[in-house]
Amino acid sequence: MKMVKSLILGSAAGLVAMSGAQAADLPVKAKAVEYVRICSLYGAGFFYIPGTDTCMKIGGYLRIDTTFNGNVYGGPAWSGDLGQGNRYRDYFASRSRLALTVDTRTATEYGVVRTFGQGNFQFNNFGTANPSALASFPGGASNALNTAGGGYVAVDQIFLQFAGFTFGKSVSAFATPWNGYPGNNNSFLMGGPDYVTGVNNIQYTAQFGNGVSATIGLDDPTQYGRTSLLNLGVAATPAGFALGAVQATAAGANAYGGTHAPDIVGNIRVDQAWGLFQISGAAHLVNASYNILNVGGTPNNLSEISGHPDDKWGGAVMAALQIKNLPTGAGDDIKIDATYSKGMTKAVVATSGTSPNFAMFGSTGLAGGYQSIGFGQTADGVFLPGFITGGLTGDIKLVDAWGIRGAFNHNWDPFWSTSLWGSYGSVRYGGDALDILTAKGQFCASFNFGKVVSADYSCNPDFNFAQVGVVTRWTPVRNLTFSAEVGAFFLDQKFTGSAILTPAAPKPTAVYEFRDQSTVFLNVRAQRNF
C-alpha cells in the first residue's frame, strides 16, 4: 500500500513539474494596444488623449516675413532710428517664427473644460545697431538674443475656461474678435484696442441664445492698459538724451504708480449668419507715483514726502460691426470698429505690443533750418505739481482720444484674396496752450521751457494719425500662403513754426521746422498653418 501511495505521489509531482515547464515555454499574452482615437466633438484635428476622455489638438503655424523701411511685422518708420532716418536704421527687418498651440477640452456635467496655450519660438534682428539702444529689451546690454544662433520664446495666450469663466492670459472682453486685424497683416493698425497676444484676466460669459452673449471681466492693466501718465514738473529724458538737454520730442516724464485696480471691462455681442455687432466698455484707473522725481521719472529721497495727486478713473467705449455675405463674392466681408477713450489712450493708440510715441524727421524748406520734425506724445493724462486745481497739488487731467479702423476683404477665387484696410485717429489734450490750469497749457509750459523759438511758433500737443494699405495673398495649396502688403502712415501734428532743438543723437542741436510727416513700408510673408 505504501508503494502504491509513493507511486501516485511521485506521478503527481512529475505532472506538476511538466506542466510548469510547459507553461514557462508558452508566450505571455500581450496587453492590448490602445490606439489614438479621433475626437469629432470639437472640430477637425482633435483626438482623445489615450486612457482619458480629454480631447486634444496640437496646431500652430510657421511664418517668415520681412519688412522694408519698417520694423518687424510691418511697424512703420515712425520713431527711433527709423523715424530719424539716420545711419543706424535698418533698411529691412526680418523675423522667423514657429508658433505652437495646445488646445484641450473635456466634457463635464458643468459644460466643457478647456485649456489653451500658445508659445512662439522666434528670431529677428530687433532693428537697430545704435549703441544707445542696445541695453533695451530683449537683448540686454549684451544683445544676446539676436546673435547668430540666438532667439527667444514668447507667450501669447494661456487660459482655462470652465462653466462660462475664463482664467489666465486671454483676449480682453473689451476687444473685438479680430482685435487689430480686420484685414491687415501688420501688427500696427491703430484706431482701436488690440489684445491679440492676451492679457491676464478673469472673465465670465453668458450665452442668451440666438447668437447673443455678454461678457464681463477684470483685466490686469500693467502691460496692456497703460500708455504714460506725464509728470510735467520733471524733465524728460528719452533714450540717447544727455541730462539737462532741451528736449525735442517729449514733455515731462512717465509717473504712473503701481497697479492699484484692474481694468473693468465688458461687452454685449450678437453673432449671426449676417455678421457681428458688438458694444464694449472699459474703466481704467489712472494713478500717479509722486510729485517730486528725478530727471527721467526715477524716485529720490524727497519723493515719498512730496505727495501725489489723487487717483482718477478714466475709460473707453467701442462699437464694432462685421457684415458678411456681400454680393462681391463668397467669403467677402467688411469689418469696422470705432473707439472713444478718456484717460485710456491705449484703447485707441494700440498695437499688439506697447503704444508708440511718434518722432519723425523729414526735409525742410525753411531758410536756416536743418530738417523738419513731427511728433506726437501718447499719454493717458498729465499733472503739474504745485498748482491748486483740485487739491493741494496739481490734479491729473485725462487725455481724450478717438479712432476708427476697418477693412474690406475680397476673395478673387479660391487661391487669391485682397484686403483694403485703413484707420484714422486723434489724441487731444484739453484746454488752451496759454491756460496753465489745463492739460494743454501745462504740457506747453513744460515743453517750451528753455527753448528758443521762431516768431510764428505755437505749441499744441494734439495730433491726428491716418493709415491706409492693401495686402494681397496667394494660397497655392491649402494652409500655405504667400502675401505682400504695402502700407502708409501719416502724422498730422499741430505745432507751428520752428525751434532750436536737441533731438536724440546722432541728430545735432539745430533749427527744426515743425511739419506733418509720412512714411511707407512693404512687408512680404510666407506662412504655413498646421
Q: 33-80 pLDDT, tens per residue?
A: 567 899 999 999 999 999 999 999 999 999 999 999 998 889 999 999
How many angstroms separate the most distant Cα atoms in the chain?
139
- How many alpha carbons lie under 13 Å from residue 66 in its C-beta half-sphere? 4
Angle of CA points 161, 204, 287, to nearest 5° = 115
Angle of CA points 267, 163, 46, to nearest 5° = 100
438-450 pLDDT, tens per residue? 999 999 999 998 8
Alpha helices in 106-253 (DSSP H): 221-224
149 φψ region: left (φ > 0), alpha (ψ -120 to 50), beta (else): left
Question: Is a pLDDT exceeding 90 seen at residue 337?
Answer: yes
d(CA 168, CA 341): 25
- The confidence score (pLDDT) of residue 295 equals 84
180-196 pLDDT, tens per residue? 999 999 999 999 999 99
Around Cβ 450, how many Cβ atoms within 10 Å? 11
Paired strand residues for 337: 320, 405
| Parallel/antiparallel/unpaired status of strands 371-376 and 510-514 | parallel
Burial 120-149 (b: 16+ CB within 10 A, else e): bebbbebbbebebbeeeeebeeebebbeee
Is there a contact between 56 and 40 (Cβ–Cβ < 8 Å)? Answer: no
DSSP string for residues in 96-111: EEEEEEEEEEEEETTE
Residue with cell 449668419: 273
- The confidence score (pLDDT) of residue 27 equals 54
Q: Give how far the C-alpha of residue 415 lies from the chain's centroid of Cα atoms, to the nearest Å.
A: 30
Output the nine-digit C-alpha cell for 136.
533695451
Domains belonging to the chain, first-starting first, are 35-529 (2.40.160.10)
| DSSP SS3 for 492 | strand
d(CA 26, CA 165): 56
- The confidence score (pLDDT) of residue 353 equals 85
394-422 pLDDT, tens per residue? 899 999 999 999 999 999 999 999 999 99
User: What Å distances lie between residue 346 and 6, 19, 194, CA to CA?
Assistant: 99, 82, 9
> Could you tell me which of 426, 37, 316, 353 has the C-alpha nearest to residue 199?
353
pTM: 0.89
**Could you give phi then psi for residue 83, rounded to 5 degrees?**
-65, -35
341-400 pLDDT, tens per residue? 999 999 999 998 889 999 999 999 999 999 999 999 999 999 999 754 444 468 999 999
- How many alpha carbons lie under 13 Å from residue 315 in its C-beta half-sphere? 14
Q: What is the mean pLDDT of residues 199-205?
A: 97
- The confidence score (pLDDT) of residue 9 equals 40
> Could you tell me which of 235, 499, 258 has the C-alpha nearest to residue 364?
499
- The confidence score (pLDDT) of residue 147 equals 64
Q: Decide which of 450 and 240 is more confident.
A: 450
242-268 pLDDT, tens per residue? 333 345 778 899 999 999 999 999 999
| Parallel/antiparallel/unpaired status of strands 400-411 and 480-493 | unpaired
